[in-house]
Amino acid sequence: MSEGTTARARAIDRAEQQRLLDMRALDDVLARASGRRGAKLLREVLAEHRAASTLTRNELEEAFLSICRTAGLPPDAVNLWIPFPDGGGAEADFLWHAQRLIVEVDGRSVHATQRAFQSDRRRDQRLMLLGWRVARFTCQQVTSEPAYVATTLRGLLEHG
């Protein structure tokens, strides 16, 4: 996925999240806009968005999702809330139900503090007690080693 494509997808996702974008209304406008300037480009952007319409929270998640799709390993869910039996819960960045696998992608700015480090480990332990396997990929791995990430993910999914 190119940088421009990723930026467009994220902009559309944000607009939908904030309820600033009504996809049905856009479809109606496009149905009446045959031959109008910009209609073709808007159709292409929306088609691209719908083909990859999984809501991610940041560019790192978007990059990981792109690796998954390119490798033919799309997750079953993105940013899915998993409740804990005693209350609370955790949001899984990426999840594969059949293999009981959760993948977290860790950007340094969010996960580098001592508090976050401790919290991440406790969260992973609680998820493992529920039968999930938790794997973590670093920002460096996702952005600089996509082949390694894809190979490792494939192995985790095959041995799950």
pLDDT digits (tens, 9 = 90+) for 101-140: 999 998 876 666 888 889 999 999 999 999 999 999 999 9
* Overall average pLDDT of the 141-146 stretch: 97
State residue 103's pLDDT score.
Answer: 98
Considering 4-8, 44-48, 106-110, the range whose residues carry the highest mean pLDDT is 106-110
pLDDT at residue 97 greater than cutoff 90 = yes
Query: ∠ CA 79-55-146 to the nearest 5 degrees?
Result: 80
Listed in sequence order, the DSSP H helices in 22-113 are: 23-32, 39-51, 59-70, 108-111
pLDDT at residue 53 greater than cutoff 90 = no
Q: Are 135 and 104 in contact (CB under 8 A)?
A: yes
| Cα atoms found within 13 Å of the Cα of residue 35, Cβ hemisphere only | 0
State residue 51's pLDDT score.
Answer: 45
State residue 137's pLDDT score.
Answer: 97
- Cβ within 8 Å of residue 7, ≥6 positions away: none
Residue type, 31: A
Task: Kindly list the distances between the CA atom of residue 136 and the CA atoms of 2, 7, 59, 139, in Å, as whole numbers in the listed order.
Answer: 24, 24, 16, 10
State residue 6's pLDDT score.
Answer: 57
* Overall average pLDDT of the 47-55 stretch: 54
* Overall average pLDDT of the 23-32 stretch: 70
- The whole-model pTM stands at 0.67
* Overall average pLDDT of the 6-27 stretch: 63
Task: For the chain, give every domain's residue range.
Answer: 3-51, 59-158
**Would strands 133-138 and 101-106 be described as parallel, antiparallel, or unpaired?**
parallel
Rounded distance between C-alpha atoms, residue 80 and residue 103, angstroms:
11
Q: Look at 16 and 130; give whichever has higher pLDDT.
A: 130
State residue 114's pLDDT score.
Answer: 83
* Overall average pLDDT of the 81-110 stretch: 92
Specify the CATH number of the domain 59-158: 3.40.960.10
pLDDT at residue 12 greater than cutoff 80 = no
Q: What's the distance, Cα to Cα, between the start and end of the chain in Å?
A: 28
> 3-state class of 43 per DSSP?
helix
Task: Kindly list the distances between the CA atom of residue 101 and the CA atoms of 15, 50, 76, 80, 108, in Å, as whole numbers in the listed order.
Answer: 30, 26, 10, 12, 22
